[in-house]
Amino acid sequence: MDFKVSGFVRKAFELFAEGDKSFTDISEFLVKMGVTKGNGTPIKIKQVRQILANKFYIGIMKFAGEYYEGSHEQFIGKDLFQSVQGVLKKRDKHHAKSDSFPFLGVMKCSGCGASVTAEKHIKHYKRTNRKVTYSYYRCTRKQGRCVELPITSTDLEVQMRNVISDVAIPASWGKQWLEWLAKDEIEEKQNTEIKSEGLSRNVEATDRKLNILLDSYLDQVIDPDTYKLKKNELFENKFKFREEMGRLQRGESNWIEPMRNFINTAVKGEKIARAENNIDEIANFVKNLGSNFFLHSRQISAVHNNGFDMLRAPAPARNLLTCEPDHSLCVDSPGIGPGSLRCERSILPFNYEPE
């Protein structure tokens, strides 16, 4: 294997060993590094898993069903390889526990509000003498009689892909948004420094006023009641100034990181929705989306939260979208969703404030 490529594969192992990277993430990383299939297309999910479990990288070769010690150079340490196998085993165990029902716990029945369960049915086809297993998701009916119909696992996966696509953004958009966010982050830091300096000056000014007030009291220029009243007032102001400084230092008013996570999640959604054979990743994504899903007449409806509802544009707006795909968004009026009348190759800045 090429020395440069082996370095990228080792990095892929290291990323996966962290435990929070999906097979899609690893495939995308390898594409960025120029590691693809022979025809230039991304490595598929199944192949990524095979790479991560391949003992070839620790010097062991398999031939005719038997393992042999290879003479090729090892570039994956055994400790790293074992860490990756631990992550793979953990995910396989989680998959086995769910009995191949990855969407359990994701949705509720729209008709009665009960949870949705899953089950398997085996159908025997007499003409071909074969058995086929089908997976279904249906209402548990624990709230009483319910007329909602079950949905097949295949149909549910297709609909969940569409749900993710509705709140996903292309990588080119994400890149633009992150660039603008980086500018806003610089501006935010500058504003924070300016505010902190101003608050620090206010604290110093308050201390000077307290000293003057004390001198006035000791010189009997003001009476005790006036002194106490003004002293308490100045202490309150000083406390507020310091409290605000503390909030700025702790970053309680910082919206940058949540916005960055929001953008990265939306970009990741676009990749997951388009990938193949990744039903577990789809299920994990929708579970972490913070949205509420309901099953009604074999159709999934979603109530999005955490800002993802802003990405879900109405159908008419999407149909009238005329922007080129690599441009960010079409806007007609303030908001993130595409506009329905005119197209501008930009979006409103994150710090936009309506007049």
pLDDT in tens, 299-334: 999 888 777 877 765 544 444 444 545 555 444 444
Instruction: Compute the half-sphere exposure of residue 158: CA atoms within 13 Å on the CB side of its CA.
Output: 7
CATH code at position 29: 3.90.1750.20
Task: Report the alpha-carbon distance of residue 286 to residue 293 in Å, rounded.
Answer: 9
What's the length of the chain?
355
184 in any annotated domain: yes
Total-model pTM? 0.54
Q: Say if residue 9 is in the same domain as residue 92.
A: yes
Range of the domain at 183: 171-254
The three-point CA angle 48-49-51 to 5° equals 65
Q: Pick the closest to residue 227 from 202, 237, 235 (CA basis).
A: 235
Domain-terminating residue out of 46, 80, 97: 97
| Of 4-13, 57-66, 109-118, 157-166, minimum mean pLDDT range | 57-66
Task: Report the alpha-carbon distance of residue 5 to residue 35 in Å, rounded.
Answer: 7
pLDDT in tens, 225-278: 999 999 999 989 998 998 888 877 776 557 788 888 899 989 999 889 888 888
274 in any annotated domain: no
State how many domains the chain has: 2
State the residue for tokens 């999934």. 300
144 in any annotated domain: no
Q: Pick the closest to residue 80 from 46, 50, 57, 60 (CA basis).
A: 57
pLDDT in tens, 170-217: 888 899 999 998 898 888 888 888 888 999 999 999 999 999 999 998
Helices (H), 219-320: 224-250, 256-274, 279-287, 315-319
Give the whole-number percent of the chain exceeding pLDDT 70: 81
pLDDT of 164 = 92
139 in any annotated domain: no
pLDDT in tens, 116-170: 999 888 888 888 888 888 889 999 988 888 989 999 999 999 999 999 998 898 8
Task: Report the alpha-carbon distance of residue 71 to residue 77 in Å, rounded.
Answer: 15
Task: Report the alpha-carbon distance of residue 136 to residue 195 in Å, rounded.
Answer: 57
The sign of the dihedral angle between the CA atoms of 95, 96, 97, 100 is: positive
330 in any annotated domain: no
Domain-terminating residue out of 190, 222, 254: 254
State the residue for tokens 């929705």. 273
Q: Say if residue 93 is in the same domain as residue 176.
A: no
Tell which phi-psi region holds residue 178, choosing left (phi > 0), alpha (psi between -120 and 50) or beta. Answer: alpha
Domain-terminating residue out of 43, 62, 97: 97
Quick check: 352 pLDDT over 90? no
DSSP 42: P
pLDDT in tens, 50-63: 889 888 888 777 76
Task: Report the alpha-carbon distance of residue 308 to residue 270 in Å, rounded.
Answer: 13
